[in-house]
Every structure is written in C-alpha cells, then in structure tokens.
Structure 1
Amino acid sequence: MCPDNEGGAPVVEASPAGDAPDLTLRALHQRIRQQEILAELGVTALQGADFDKLLAETARLTAEALRAEFCKVLEYIPSENRLLVRAGVGWDEGIVGKASIGADLASPAGFALRTGKPVISNHLENEERFRTPEMLAQHGIHRAMNVILQGDGRPFGVLEVDSRSEDEFVEQDLAFLQGAANILGMAIEREHHARNLEAALERHQVLLKEMGHRVKNSLMIVTSMLQLQARDIGDPTLTLHLEEAAQRVSAVARAHDQLFQGANIDRMDLGKYVEGVCKDLDASVAHCIIHTEAQHGMEFSADRAISAALVVNELIANAAKHAYRGKQGGRVQVRIAGVGEDKLSISVRDEGTGVPQGFDLAQPKGLGMRIVTSFVTQLNGTIEIRHHNPGTEFVVILPRESPRKFC
C-alpha cells in the first residue's frame, strides 16, 4: 500500500504474488495465545495496575505474543519532537527510560505517529519510505511493526515490536498489536483522568459517578463486540476464548453499573454484586442452571469486589466447560456467607464428573484457573477443592478487611 492511502489503512510492504498465510497448527496456537494475552492485559488494566508496571508488562507480553525479541513503548515528547523509550524488553542496558528516536516521518515509529496509520516493514534494509533508526541497526533488527498509542485526546506515542529473525509480520499480527495498543490506550486515558480527579475528589463526586457510567457503557460495547466476533469467527476454539473474555468484561461492567446506581462511589455490597454477575451468566450459559445464595450487607471496596466477582465468574465458567462435558448440562450452586466476624466464604459447586486426575491448584494450566489463583492471592485468601459424589466444590475464604488496607 502507498504511504498516502486514505482511510487509515495499515501501511504494509508488498508481498510476492500468491503468498498466503500458513494456517498451520502452530499458527492457530499462536492466535489462541494472542487472545489469552489480550484478556490478561485487559484484566490487568481494569484492575488499575501501576502504570509503569503495566507499560513494562505490555511490552513483555506483546513480544511473547508475536514471537519477537524486542518490543518498546515510545512516549512522544512534543518539546523535543522525539519518542522516548518509556518501557521495553530485549534492549541493551541504558536504552529503556533514556534513549529516544526522532518523531519525524523518516523513522518507522515517527511515520506511524505522524500519519496515524499502522506500519509493517519486514525488510528494513530495503526500505525507501523511511530510514532505519540507529537503535534498531545496532541491535541487528531486520523487521518492525508500529501502531499509534492514543492518549487522552492526543497521541501518547507508539507501540513498536521488532525482530532480528527473517520471518515476516502479517496482518493478523498487526490486528493483535492494535488490540494491545487499544487496551494500553484505555489505561493511559484512565491514568490521566485518575490524576486529574484525585485532586478534586471531595468536590466532584458526581464526576466520578459519570465516569463509572461511561466506563460501564464502554465495557458493554466491548462485550457486545467480543460476542459478535465469537459468533462470526468460524473456529470453535477461538469462539470459546472470545465468549469467556466477554463474560469477564461483563462482570467488570456490572461493578461499574452498581457503583453508578449506589450512594457510595467506592464501596459495594458483594452479595448483591455477585448475584447480578450470576444472573448474567445464567442467561448466557444455556446448558447450566445457576443457583445463588448470597448474604447481603458485606461491603467491599470496588477493586476487591471486582476481583472476588471475577473469581466467581471463572469458577462458574470452569464448571460449565468441564464438569458437564459430554452431558446436556446441570446445576451450579454459588454461596456467599460470612465466616465468623472477619472472614467470608465463596463456594461454587457443580454436580459433574469431578476434576481430572493430576489437577493441581498450585500449578493451574488454564487461563481461567490462573486468574482465580492470582486474584485469591491478591485478596490474601485461600482456596481449596472439596470432592463430592457427584461433583466438585471450590471454596474460597477471604478476609473482610485486608491487612494491606485495600478496603
């Protein structure tokens, strides 16, 4: 495509005629892993991770997803008209946080920033559109891919992935990179708003409610888009991953909806919140009937409540996927109740075939159980498996007030 094409289409090097994507099993596994990584990044961003850590984690996971040796987040510095390497992976010492490249049209990243169009260059040494930055040449990089990182009303910079290998980036890789940039862009916007709102919190409570309302609406749009793509993708494995991602986003959206409706903008009734999440899942998981018994009146901070609800979401999804495999469906029982004065219990039980032999909570293999164990640890809780005849019960015990003062 020509650099001056209209409509924001990606700028890609021409490929030899007849060259088609190699839809091998390895490629399919890579696409599945890319979807998992986008889900991980989305959850991390929505949980409000430290911004610098989020940038570094985005660079690391992006490089992994694209099987590239290098990745960097470039922040645009208008006063210098340069792009600072804010975060990255694979680079020599002294690059991240210090090195910068020109933000003009003569570099791949500058071209993406100035035109707003994604750029793929699989043969930098033959490029005529722009020069190869000295940083890339020194690291022996042959190919690069760039997409713009949007900020709050103006570009934050560029997300770039680079490689020494002779392989080629393709359109599907670009779609993943743009997805990662979109998630990071939402986090950048959220970071900017959070800084501005913190100083005016006492005087502008209504603004926070409006923000929550808009976030909820935006997340529901994301949920709808994921559900549409799940129906149209034409691949059962990818469909399942997209549907699970949609359920996670929907669980977080319901939290923002409850905060918007309530009088308290930073705390919520965990029992009522989880009841709503289970109601949504009951409507979307057709082959299972979800029964919920939740004690009301146990208030949690929004962040802790979202984490707890995502634990319930993943355990229900796990039961729906594995417990009734090969059967028409069955019952999933969810219970939330206080334990003594300072703890609560979350129980998710099915009446299915039980966990497979060799299943180890300490080393879960699936993304869903990794999310469960990660959030339980974050909440300073414990989780155990109880075997029944029939079925399996996961029991999570959480402190009502975290020792780390999350509430």
Structure 2
Amino acid sequence: MTVQRDNSTGEAAEGETGPAGRAGAEALVSESERQFRRIVEASPSALVMVDAEGRIELVNAQSERLFGYGRDELIGRSVEMLIPPRFRGHHPQLRNGFSTDPRSRPMGAGRELYGMRRDGSEFPVEIGLNPIETDQGLKILSAIVDITERRRSAERFRRVVEAAPNAMVMISQQGRIEMVNAEAERVFGYDRSELLGQSIEILVPERFRSQHPALRHGFFAAPASRPMGEGRDLFGLRKDGSEFPVEIGLNPIETEDGTMILSAIVDISDRKQKEESIRQALREKDVLLSEVHHRVKNNLQIIHSLLDLQSSQIDDPTVIAMLRDSQNRIRSMSLIHQTLYQSKDFARVDFANFLDSLLPTLMDSYSTASDRIALSVAVDDVHLPLNQAIPCGLIVNELIANALKHAFPGGMRGRIDVASRRSGDNEVALSVSDDGIGLRDGQEIKSATLGLTLVQMLARQLHGEISVNRRNPTRFDLTFPVVVG
C-alpha cells in the first residue's frame, strides 16, 4: 500500500532532480507508510482496512485477538468472513454505498452490529468507518470495538429496572421516553410500545405540561439524584385521562447516548386517602373535644352558680368563706377548660393565658384586698398537658387565696408575685411569694389550712417538690417534670 502524496509536489521534485528526486519522494512515502502501520498496530481498537472490493489488506494485533485469526489468515480474504452469515448477503451493498459517499461515520447507526470469531461465536460490536485515499484507490479503515461487556451491563441495568417495585421511566435530554418497566405500564395504563419514543409530557397532566420542559432542562443543567418538585404536589396522567398523586425520584444515568434521567415514580393515592382519613378523624376529634371541654366548663359554671346561690342563703361568715374557696377552685378548673376550648389545642394548655384569666377573677373574689394588694405575674412560654394544668392551676389558686386571706391582716398593704419558668429539660419551676407577715415558726404546712394541705397533695400528684421560705418574703417554690407526649 502506498499512501497518496501531493502529485504537483512530486512532479516538481522529479523535474528538478530527475531519478534522485524520485528516489527521495519514494523514501518519504515509504516512511509515511511505516508510520501509518505503526499507528494502526498501536491502536487499542481492532483495526481492519479493506479495499473497494472488500478484501482485507491490513489488520493489527487487536484484530487478531478479537477475531481469533492469525494475520496471515486474514490478509487477502473477504471481510465478510468476519460477519455472521445472516448479514453477509447485503453487506457488499452497504460497502458500495459507503464508497459512493466516503466520509468518517459510525457504521449501521441505529442498528445492532455483530462480528463473528474464528470459532463461529458472535459478539456485538461498534464500528467506525474512515475513508483512506491511496495511490491504489479508496480504502476503508474500520475501527471495531467489542461491546459485549457494555451490553451485559446494559442488560443487567434493564433487569434491575424491570424488577423495580416502582414505575421506572428513563428519558433523554429531549424528553423522549427511552425505557419503561412493567410497573410503569401498570401504573399509567399504557403498553410499552405506546410509550417508547413518546414525549414524557404524555404522562403529565395538561395543566402542568407547559412548565415541565423548563424543569427538565434545569435538571440536566445540574444533574444530581434528588426528589422532583420537593414541597409541591405532583400528579401523573393515566392513559384513560385520570390523574393520580405521585412521588418522583430523579437520577442522572450516564449512557453511551449521553446523560439520561431515570425517574422512579410511586403512586401515592392510597397514602393520600389515608392521610385525608386521618385528617378527617382529627377534625372530628377536635370537634368532639371542643364540645366536651365546653360542656365541662358549663357544668362547672353551673356548680359555681349553685354554690353562689347557696351562699346567699347562709349567714355564717365561716361557711360563706368556705363556699367561696370552693367556688374559686371550681372557677380555676373551669378556666382550664375554657382556655383549651378557645385555643383549639386540646393537648396542652398555655399556662400564661390561663393565669391571665384566673388571677383577675381571683382578686375580684376578695374585693376587700384587691385595692391594697398589688399582683405581679412573670410567666415564661409554658405549655402543660391537661392532667398537669389542672393541679398546677389549683396550686396557684390555693397559694394566692391563702396569701389574700392571711398574709395582710388589718388592712395591711402588700404585694404578691407569681412566676413560672422552664428549668432544665422538661421541668417547670413555679413560685408564689408575698411580702406579708409570713408563716409562724414551727407551723406545719400540712396542718395549716385546707388550702395548703391541698397544695401538698397536688404537688405529689405532679410528682413535684415544694419548698417554703417562711418570711421576707414568704415564698412557695414548686418544681415538677412536664409530661411529654
């Protein structure tokens, strides 16, 4: 083989130098041919060069390894010996077609190509065709790549996709569906043949289609595995036109045809229905609890009114005072239910709101003291469950009532402070203090009054601890753990 040279340059050299110039030109051509052969031999791909009639003129070591022939068994033979028999009949026609339009291009674009080894086994190949102009005419240099392993990987990938429990749809950068699995057929109601090659928008409800291409382009601009439309409700469209809610995971997949998107699609219709059922049940529960708290509050108010009516028929001041204390306790419990009813949060009571309602009514019930005793409240954002809010509210009621009745005798002026704060993890610290006359030395809290006895009992109910500072100021400190859940 002689690689074609520039004729005008060769003629000028011969005209100037005669036989010597011709010998030099031939030496250059010979060196060029040796370089060409070295390049072919060093190629990592199998290279086979044939003439216009399809006779093999040149192969490299990779071709020998790939096809299992020795070089001397290939040179001069028809290239059809490397092609499975079922393709040999129309191969010369394809070769002639290349000769009429010789340009570098892949062979059989869009078709599956196969080579055949000496032992008769077939294997999938990719072939690149390159025209080579020589003194002996057009030659075709074929670069042949065994893609068996790639095909195996692709087949493994297809099997994994097919076996996936979710609907799997793979699309190209143009939005064309390249692969689906059986679950996708079931979920969307299409046969596979109806989906392949179609635009992905066929599976998107019409009201979302106009914005979908921009979202797809955005993914290809920054491909990374992530959920689609995070924070938004997504819907798929079945063949019958019905819509259904979906979750979609997007994954970039590198293929021989470029980057593609593999979408894992989950029909979440059942989940949405269950969530709606739960929401409906919660709404019904809220209505029921609201009615329960409202009725409990009303019943406690009725009891309060009955005690008030009973008080109006009694002349004994001691009995009247006892009835008033009972009324205040009932009012305290009633206010807890009123706070829950008004807040619509039936699990926890806003203790600050509760005290804002309780303390003014408590001061009003001791009208003789309210104009000379100042009340200060400092409460953090503390929320208590109902089973703790009621005893805690009663404790505050008893301690303030006790201070109003006993701490400021003889028209004495003074101050009562109520404070509540979070103390450590899930613990509340509550204090009620006054600057009145204080408790007598040696006075037992348990036997002091019914109210203080109740305080001790309620503190135990809260699994809390209570301590007392007897004077300057008189202060009751209660700490208890908040029940979580």
TM-score by length of 2: 0.39
TM-score by length of 1: 0.46
Q: Which has the larger radius of gyration?
A: 2
